[in-house]
Amino acid sequence: MEQQKIAIIGLGYVGLPLAVEFAKKYAVVGFDILTERVQDLKNFADNTLQVPAAALETALSKKENAADKAHLFLTSDFEEIASANLYIVTVPTPIDANKKPNLNPLRSATEMIAKVLKKGDLVVYESTVYPGCTEEECVPILEKSGLQYNQDFFCGYSPERINPGDSVNTLTKIKKVTSGSTPKAAEQVDRLYKSIITAGTHMAPSIKVAEASKAIENAQRDINISFVNELALMFDRMDIDTHDVIEAASTKWNFLPFKPGLVGGHCIGVDPYYLKYKAETLGYHPAVVSSGRNVNDQMGVFVGAKLIKLMLKEGLKINQSKILILGITFKENCPDTRNTKVIDIYQELRSYNAEVDVYDPWANKEQVKKDFDIDLKESIENEKYNGIILAVGHREFKSLDFKDLSSEKVVIYDTKAIIDRSLVKGRL
């Protein structure tokens, strides 16, 4: 393992922490197609907030020489990865407008590797895919190099388990599932990750099993949340607070106290569609997985419409009112806006011709403008609103004075159940 030179393809939420950690022990080249991203990282600035500037500076300041081969080199020139003998792919695997897998980033990364692939090289995928994808989609592209799978080159799969914004369950502290295309490759992949993952590893019996394990991790959570979201939809019609019900039910030892909420992000809101897609290609329609997605996908619209109904009930005219949405990231204390369901709330409110402000101290304003055509508020100081939705539980919002933000007549809706209950008209 001391002779390994590792190329990490994709320097986002998953790839960057991995590159920095491996660079403590190996020569690592980190590649990303976004030249601005690479330049920012070279200046020790990570806008995902996954890696502190000091850790970046330490990794990048090491020089490759006889005394110290462990270092990190960053580039957006794919020819710079040609000297690697182990490639790790961490590119996004999103869904398209029809909620089908979009494998274009994965295919593009694999095509790039195929151009520089050498005999004896190992290619490991961390990107979340459906079971069978690595060998059905990626291996044929790699074989365009003229090399033969499992004779000239080998593959592995080790699903990422990065939790954006989590400073406790970090890369090295989460047990890693590993796998390889042959027993020898599997051992090599496992040894590699075991060298940096202090929590240990679990070697799956095949690449397909490892792929499936990642898919069901998030599908299971999606289904559990969809159950309480469906309860919230039902209890809303019964005029019952869902959180009160959960609190009461939680007094039983084996009750699982999941909370209702918006289910977005790059994992839970996406991965079940990959599992569903693969099952349907084999002639099976997964009813439970599909139902969970259907429920969770409607929650943003429900929240927006519920605020409108509550405002009308209070006698407020929507087109003469100002509404504030607090938060647009997909989760709290994190700048990640990928697949955020808060946009569904925004669009629902705008469909009523409401004037809507969005404030989020964590989100990147330029990225939000590019992705959603929304101009985030720089500040909400001295502003007054008739409708307020707490959509994301950022720590800054827990100390807000909602009375200062409120007009004489106001409706506050809390999707996270963290605001003083006496101030809110409704909770998810």
Stretch 52-63: mean pLDDT, rounded? 87
Torsion of CA 372, 378, 379, 385, to 10 degrees: -30
Largest CA distance in the chain: 76
The catalytic residue among 133, 138, 155, 267 is 267
Stretch 346-352: mean pLDDT, rounded? 96
Q: For the segment 116-136, what is each residue's pLDDT rounded down to a tens digit?
A: 999 999 999 999 999 999 999
**What local confidence, expressed as pLDDT, does residue 1 receive?**
42
Q: What pairs with residue 156 in β-bridges?
A: 124, 180
Q: Report the chain's mean pLDDT, rounded to a whole number.
A: 94
**What local confidence, expressed as pLDDT, does residue 167 receive?**
78
Is residue 105 over pLDDT 70? yes
Angle, to 10 degrees, between the axis of helix 207-238 and the axis of helix 271-281?
Answer: 110
User: pLDDT-based confidence at 62, cuts 50/70/90?
Assistant: low
**What local confidence, expressed as pLDDT, does residue 265 receive?**
85
Q: What pairs with residue 180 in β-bridges?
A: 156
Contact (CB, 8 A) for 274 and 213:
no
Mapped onto helix, strand or coil, the DSSP state of residue 168 is coil
Contact (CB, 8 A) for 361 and 319:
no
267 labelled catalytic: yes
Q: What pairs with residue 201 in β-bridges?
A: 176
Q: Specify the CATH number of the domain 298-427.
A: 3.40.50.720
Q: Among 16-25, 159-168, 263-272, 343-352, where is mean pLDDT lowest?
A: 159-168
Angle at 189 between CA 170 and CA 272, to 5 degrees: 60
User: Percentage of the chain with pLDDT > 90?
Assistant: 92
The CATH topology of domain 5-205 is: Rossmann fold (3.40.50)
Contact (CB, 8 A) for 31 and 81:
yes
List where CATH 3.40.50.720 sits in the chain: 5-205, 298-427
Q: For the segment 230-274, what is each residue's pLDDT rounded down to a tens digit?
A: 999 999 999 999 999 999 999 999 999 999 999 988 888 899 999
Q: What token pair was written down for 158?
A: 């080790």
What's the Cα-to-Cα distance from 116 to each of 6, 109, 111, 112, rounded to whole Å?
A: 13, 12, 9, 7
* Predicted TM-score of the model (pTM): 0.93
Q: Among 36-40, 207-211, 263-267, 288-292, where is mean pLDDT lowest?
A: 263-267
**Residues comprising the chain, all counted:** 428
Is residue 391 over pLDDT 50? yes
| DSSP sequence for 224-293 | HHHHHHHHHHHHHHHT--HHHHHHHHTTSTT----------TTTTTTHHHHHHHHHHHTT---HHHHHHH
